[in-house]
Structure 1
Amino acid sequence: MAAAAALTLPARAWAASDPVVTTAYGRVRGTRHDGVQVFKGIRYGADTGPRRFQAPQPPAPWREVKGALAYGAACPQTRFDEPQSEDCLFLNVWTPEAKAGGNRPVMVYIHGGAYSHGSGSDALYDGTRLAHRGDVVVVTLNHRLNAFGHLYLGRLAGPAYAQSGNAGILDLVLALQWVRDNIAAFGGDPGRVMLFGQSGGGAKIATLMGTPAAQGLFHRAATMSGQQVTASGPLNATARAKTYLEALGLTPERAAEAATLPVEKLLSALNAADPIHGVAGQGMGGLYWGPVLDDQVLARHPFYPDAPAQSAGIPMIIGNTHDETRLLIGGSDPSTFTLTWDQVPALLAKHMRVDINPDLVLAEYRRLYPNYSPSDVFFSATTAGRSWRAAVMEAEVRAAQAQALGQGAGGQGAGGKGAAPTYAYQLNWGSPKDGGKWRAPHTLDIPLVFDNTGVPDSLSTDSAEARLMAERMSNAFIAFARTGDPNAGGAPRWAPYTLSGRETLVFDLDWRLEQDPRGAERRLFARVPFTQQGT
C-alpha cells in the first residue's frame, strides 16, 4: 500500500497566471484548466495517524506557497489503486475565478463507496464542467473510512475513543468548517453551501442532517441513491469492534492497542464476518462500517423515528435510480441476468434485506409486470426492498415534518419559519452501454449530475441521449444550489414531495412529474419493517 500523503506530478515552473489563494492556514497555488481554476490536494486537517480513531484536528499553518496541483492521498482501504495514507484530510476546489466577493453557490460532493471505500479524486467527480456550466464552486474531499473512521471503541478503550465510531463524520464536519472559513477566497458564498453525494455519500449527508456539530454548515442537501435511516446502535457497534479486535488478535481489554498496529494489519481484518447480520443468507459481506449512535457525535438516528428538527429548514433532494441492483448485485454476479423462475425466491430471500415471503413477492411482481423476465423481477424487487425503500421513508418523514410545521417559502435555510421542501426524483433513462443490459443502475446519475458523460468508460456513455440527460440533471442540481429550488428553465415543474401526492420527477427522455410512481411496489414492502444495513 502506498503511504504517500499526496499524489506527485512532474515538476514544472510556476506560471505568472497561476492562481494563488490565501487560506486561513496558508497560501495555495493552483492551475487553470478549460477556463476553470483548479486547486487539488488542499489540506483541511492534520495527519490522523498520530491520533488514530480520534477526532480530527485542523492543520498546522504554513508559510511557503503550497502547490495544489495533485490530489491528496485516500484513506487506507482494500481494493483501491490510489496512493493511500492516514494523512488523508485533503480537498479539491474548482472555481470559475478564485477571487473574494464572487458570491457563487458552492457544491460540495461527498463520495460513495459505502463507508469503506472511495475518494474524492475519481475522474467522474472532476468539477470542471459543472463549475463552468453553472458558474458555481465545486468541492470534493477525502475523509476516513472503514475502521479508521468508524471503529467504535467508546465502550472498550475509554474516553479518549468516545467518538471513534464517528471519526469519519467528524472529518466531514471539519471539511465543512474549512469551506465556511475559506471558500469566499475562492469566489464561493459560504452562506450557500449545497451537499450532494451518491450512495455512501448520500448516506453520509443524511447522517450530517442529524449531526449537531454540522448544524449551520450547509444550506441545501441532495442525496443520490444513498440513505441513512438508522445508525448502528452502540451495543451492535461494540459487538462489531470485538469481532474486529479478535481478527486482529486482540482481546477487548487490549482494544487501545489497535491504535498502534500497522496499517496493513488493520486492513487485513476488515472483512471478518459481521456478528449482527453475518454473511449467511443475507448477502451483506463482512463487517459493517458506518455511523454509530454514540451519544457523543450522534445522539439520534438520522431519520428515525422522524426527520431531524435541526435540518427542517434545509431544502433536500432525495433521488434513486429505477434499476439500482442491476449493478449493485448484477455487477458482481453475471448469473443474475439469466435466472429461471425456480431460482428467484431463494435469491430474493438472500438479497432483499427485509423479512418478507419471497414467494409472495414473486407472485405480486408477476401480477404487476406480466412481461418481466425472472431476472427483471429479481432486480426490480431487490431495488424496491433494499435500495429504494429507505429513500421513500426519508421522503415521507420529511413530508410529515413539512405538513406539521407548515411549508416554508423556498427553503431559505434553518433560520426561517416552517419546513423547507423535499424534492424526489427517479432516474428512469437507461444507459445504452453493453447493449442496454444495465438500464438505470446504481451510479448512473453521477456522470449526469457532473455533466461528465465524456469520461472514458463512463457508464452513461457519451451518446447524444446521455448528454441531453446530463444537461437536464446538472441544470436541476445547479438551480438547487443557487436557490434551494431545483426547477430550471425548460423543465417540467418539479413539485415538492407530499404525503398526499408523493410527487416525483422522473428523469427520462420524456421527463415528467409523476404521483407515487411504483406505488404498488411501495405498498407491498410497506407491509414489513425496514432495517437499515448495520442496525
Structure 2
Amino acid sequence: MTNVTTKTGRRVAELTLNNLGIGKNEIAELQNVPYKELEAAGNAAMTQAAKEYGSIDSWGNPGLLWTPVVDSIASQANDIPIMIGTAMTEWTTMEMFGQANKYKNDNRNTWSQEEVNSKLKEWFGNHLETIADAFKQAYPGRPVADVLYVETMLRAPAFKTARLKADQHGAPVYNYMFAWDTPLVGGFAISYHCSELPFVFNNVVMSKASALGGEQAEILADRMSRAWINFARYGNPNHSEIPDWPVLTRENGYTMIFGNECQVKKNHDYKLMKLLVPDHVF
C-alpha cells in the first residue's frame, strides 16, 4: 500500500524544513506556518526526494505519495484505534467512466442471462462454480454477475491491515465495506472509488451519483456520518441506528456492510478474496 521507506520519509522531512527555513531543533515552529506554505514546502520536498531516490507513484510516474512509511515500527500506533474499509467495486468501475455512454447500455443490468454466463465462464474458467458460491455467501442478495466487478486491489490489503492491527491486541480496529449502488448512468458504476464520501460527510444531495438514491441515500448518509463522528470522538463508531459493530479480530473478521440495509457479517468475503487473489497473504 506504500512505497515510501523510513529513509525517504526522513529526507522529505529534512527538505521540507529546509524549504521553510526551519532548523531541525526548531520543529515547534511548524505550528506557526500557514497551511499553504507548509503544503508548498512539502510538495516541493516530495518532488525532490522522488528524484533523488528514483521513486515511482501509483501511476508509474516519478513521485511520492502521502503514505505511512513501509518499514516503520507498527507498535507506535498500538494504542490508536483504526476504522478501515473499501468500496465493493472501488477501482473496477472507475475506468468505465471514460466511456460512460458505452457502459450505460452494457453492464450487469442490461446483460441477458446467456451473456452473464458467458462472461463469468470467460473470466473465471474452471473456478467459476467455486467463486460464484463464495460470492453468494458474501453477498447473498446480489446477482452473481456482480462478482465480475468485485475489487481486490484495495480490499485485500485493507483487510490484511485490519487483521494485523488486531494482532497487536491494543486499540480496537473496525472494518467496513461500502456496498451501495449508485443508479447513475444505468447503474454500471455500483460502489466506485470514493463513492462513500458524500455519505460519510452527510451531503449526498450535493453529489448527483448519491442524490439519485433519494430518501434511502439520505438515511444511509445519516447512519454513516454518525458512525464516523462517533469514531472520531470516541474511537468507537457504534450508535443506535446501525447494528452492533463488533471489534474485528483475526478470528472473527467482523465487517460492517453499508448499504440500504446495514449489516455486520463474520469474515463475509474472506473466502472470496482468497479465491480471487490466491497469492495474497492475509
TM-score normalized by structure 2? Answer: 0.69
- 1:524 and 2:275 are equivalent in the alignment: yes
- In structure 1, the partner of 2:164 is 397
Structure with more of its chain in strand, by fraction: 1
CA distance in structure 2 between the aligned counterparts of 1:151 and 1:361, rounded to whole angstroms: 47
CA distance in structure 2 between the aligned counterparts of 1:508 and 1:528, rounded to whole angstroms: 30
Question: What letter corresponds to residue 211 of structure 2 in structure 1?
Answer: T
User: What SS is found at the alignment partner of 1:474?
Assistant: helix
Shift in CA distance, 498/322, structure 1 to aligned 2, threshold 3 Å: same
- In structure 1, the partner of 2:209 is 459
C-alpha contact 2:16 2:42 (8 A) present in aligned 1: no
Residue 289 (structure 1) shift: 3.4
- 1:511 and 2:281 are equivalent in the alignment: no
Question: What letter corresponds to residue 152 of structure 1 in structure 2?
Answer: A
- In structure 2, the partner of 1:321 is 87
Question: What letter corresponds to residue 289 of structure 1 in structure 2?
Answer: G
- In structure 1, the partner of 2:234 is 483
C-alpha contact 1:479 1:485 (8 A) present in aligned 2: yes
Residue 490 (structure 1) shift: 2.9
- For residue 290 of structure 1, the aligned residue among 61, 64, 72 is 64
C-alpha contact 1:422 1:497 (8 A) present in aligned 2: yes
- 1:379 and 2:130 are equivalent in the alignment: no
CA distance in structure 1 between the aligned counterparts of 2:218 and 2:277, rounded to whole angstroms: 36
C-alpha contact 1:322 1:426 (8 A) present in aligned 2: yes
CA distance in structure 2 between the aligned counterparts of 1:143 and 1:475, rounded to whole angstroms: 35
User: What SS is found at the alignment partner of 1:330?
Assistant: helix
- In structure 2, the partner of 1:447 is 198
- For residue 433 of structure 1, the aligned residue among 184, 195, 199 is 184
Shift in CA distance, 505/59, structure 1 to aligned 2, threshold 3 Å: closer
CA distance in structure 1 between the aligned counterparts of 2:188 and 2:168, rounded to whole angstroms: 39
Shift in CA distance, 144/61, structure 1 to aligned 2, threshold 3 Å: closer
- In structure 1, the partner of 2:131 is 365
C-alpha contact 1:504 1:516 (8 A) present in aligned 2: yes
Question: What letter corresponds to residue 159 of structure 2 in structure 1?
Answer: V
CA distance in structure 2 between the aligned counterparts of 1:529 and 1:150, rounded to whole angstroms: 31
Shift in CA distance, 60/518, structure 1 to aligned 2, threshold 3 Å: closer
Residue 458 (structure 1) shift: 3.7
C-alpha contact 1:428 1:508 (8 A) present in aligned 2: yes
After superposition, residues 321-340 of structure 1 pair within 5 angstroms as: 321-334=87-100, 337-338=106-107
Aligned residues: 243
After superposition, residues 111-150 of structure 1 pair within 5 angstroms as: 144=42, 149-150=46-47
CA deviation vs aligned residue, 1:336-393 (integer Å, no higher than 9, x gap): 75596777899x7xxxxxxxxx6466564345458534xx34322xx02x12111111
CA distance in structure 2 between the aligned counterparts of 1:521 and 1:309, rounded to whole angstroms: 30
CA deviation vs aligned residue, 1:94-130 (integer Å, no higher than 9, x gap): xxxxxxxxxxxxxxxxxxxxxxxxxxxxxxxxxxxxx
Shift in CA distance, 150/327, structure 1 to aligned 2, threshold 3 Å: farther
Residue 422 (structure 1) shift: 0.1
User: What SS is found at the alignment partner of 2:204?
Assistant: coil
User: What SS is found at the alignment partner of 1:513?
Assistant: strand
- For residue 247 of structure 2, the aligned residue among 475, 496, 515 is 496
CA distance in structure 2 between the aligned counterparts of 1:500 and 1:60, rounded to whole angstroms: 42
User: What SS is found at the alignment partner of 1:514?
Assistant: strand
CA deviation vs aligned residue, 1:446-466 (integer Å, no higher than 9, x gap): 0001111121x4421161111
User: What SS is found at the alignment partner of 2:154?
Assistant: helix
User: What SS is found at the alignment partner of 2:86?
Assistant: strand
- In structure 2, the partner of 1:222 is none
CA distance in structure 2 between the aligned counterparts of 1:515 and 1:315, rounded to whole angstroms: 20
Question: What letter corresponds to residue 64 of structure 2 in structure 1?
Answer: G
- 1:55 and 2:13 are equivalent in the alignment: no
Unaligned ranges ≥5, structure 1:
1-50, 67-71, 73-86, 91-141, 157-236, 241-273, 275-283, 349-357, 403-418, 531-535
Residue 314 (structure 1) shift: 0.3
Question: What letter corresponds to residue 15 of structure 2 in structure 1?
Answer: Q
C-alpha contact 1:150 1:291 (8 A) present in aligned 2: no
C-alpha contact 2:54 2:62 (8 A) present in aligned 1: no
C-alpha contact 2:55 2:62 (8 A) present in aligned 1: no
Residue 325 (structure 1) shift: 2.7
Structure with more of its chain in helix, by fraction: 2
Shift in CA distance, 327/366, structure 1 to aligned 2, threshold 3 Å: same
TM-score normalized by structure 1? Answer: 0.39
Residue 529 (structure 1) shift: 3.6
- For residue 311 of structure 1, the aligned residue among 77, 83, 91 is 77
Question: What letter corresponds to residue 98 of structure 2 in structure 1?
Answer: S
User: What SS is found at the alignment partner of 1:459?
Assistant: helix
User: What SS is found at the alignment partner of 2:49?
Assistant: coil
CA distance in structure 2 between the aligned counterparts of 1:394 and 1:466, rounded to whole angstroms: 29
C-alpha contact 2:166 2:248 (8 A) present in aligned 1: yes
Question: Cα RMSD over matched residues?
Answer: 4.0
Question: What letter corresponds to residue 426 of structure 1 in structure 2?
Answer: M
CA distance in structure 1 between the aligned counterparts of 2:94 and 2:227, rounded to whole angstroms: 26
User: What SS is found at the alignment partner of 1:424?
Assistant: strand
C-alpha contact 1:453 1:466 (8 A) present in aligned 2: yes
Residue 497 (structure 1) shift: 0.5
- In structure 1, the partner of 2:5 is none
Larger Cα-atom Rg: 1
